Amino acid sequence: MNDLTSLDMVSRLRSSGKRITPERKLLLRIIEQHAHLDAEEIYRIAQRDRPQIGLATVYRTLTLLKNLDIVRATDLGENHGHYEVRSEEHVHLVCSICGCVTDVPVPSALRAAAKKEQFAVQSTHFEIFGTCRSCSDKPSTASEAKRG
Ligand SMILES: [Zn+2]
Ligand SMILES: [Zn+2]
């Protein structure tokens, strides 16, 4: 499965009878450029272009894009959705210190295990929590705490 381009996304919106409003276009562009933002972060960026945009519009649009399978939302351990353009299935490495998110491919062992169970995988959503490289390089508060 290839990544959706903005053109694909716009044509998908159009073919489902949805209007391409400037707000929808803007939000799509933001999600495309910055993966894994939550609704409020998307809202803040959108306001730079369209100060009049409302948070309710952002939520409504995100739900629409999700229902059309254009974007997907993942809970990165925060109990709310983080949005990204639907792309190849992947696993999220989430840094518990700086919150950065890295996409890595789904391990083939997992795919093989599901196949062995004759389980038809529709989507894979999971997160691995830990510390990213730049955070582990820093003399961290976590290791200071351990030293007591
Ligand atoms: Zn980090
Ligand atoms: Zn991702």
- Of all ligands present, the nearest one to the C-alpha of 129 is 1
Alpha-carbon span 110 to 87, nearest angstrom? 18
Summarize the confidence of residues 12-31 as an average pLDDT.
88
User: Ligand 2: distance of its center to the CA of 135 in Å?
Assistant: 20
Residue 132: CATH number of its domain: 3.30.1490.190
How far away, in angstroms, is 83 Cα from ligand 1 center?
19
Q: Does residue 20 share a domain with residue 38? A: yes
Same domain, 23 and 63: yes
Please give the span between the terminal C-alpha atoms of the chain, in angstroms, as a whole number: 49
67 close to 61: Cβ distance less than 8 angstroms: no
CA of residue 79 to ligand 2 center, whole Å: 16
71 and 102 belong to one structural domain: no
- Contacting residues for 55 by C-beta, under 8 A, at least 6 apart: 39, 40, 43
27 and 94 housed in the same domain: no
pLDDT at 148: 44
* Confidence (pLDDT) at 77: 81
Q: What is the mean pLDDT of residues 116-120?
A: 94
Task: Count helices and strands (H / E) in the chain.
Answer: 7, 6
Query: 49 with 26: CB under 8 angstroms?
Result: yes
Q: Residue 101 CA: which ligand is closest?
A: 2
Q: Judge whether 1 lies within some domain.
A: no
Domain of residue 38 covers 6-85
Number of structural domains (the chain) is 2
124 with 97, same domain: the answer is yes
CA distance 12 to 74: 21
Ligand nearest to the CA of 73: 2
CA-based Rg of the chain, rounded to a whole angstrom?
A: 18
What is the per-residue pLDDT for 31? 94
| Whether residue 141 sits in one domain with residue 77 | no
* Parallel/antiparallel/unpaired status of strands 126-130 and 90-95: parallel
Domain boundary among 85, 117, 137: 85
CATH number at residue 71: 1.10.10.10
Q: What is the per-residue DSSP string for 61-121? A: HHHHHHHTTSEEEEE-SSSSEEEEE--S-EEEEEETTT--EEEEEPPHHHHHHHHHTT---
* 76 in the same domain as 133: no
Contact assessment for residue 81 and residue 125, using Cβ atoms and an 8 Å cutoff: no
Q: Tell me: do 16 and 80 sit in the same domain.
A: yes
pLDDT band at 1 (very low <50, low <70, confident <90, very high): very low
- pTM of the complete model: 0.78
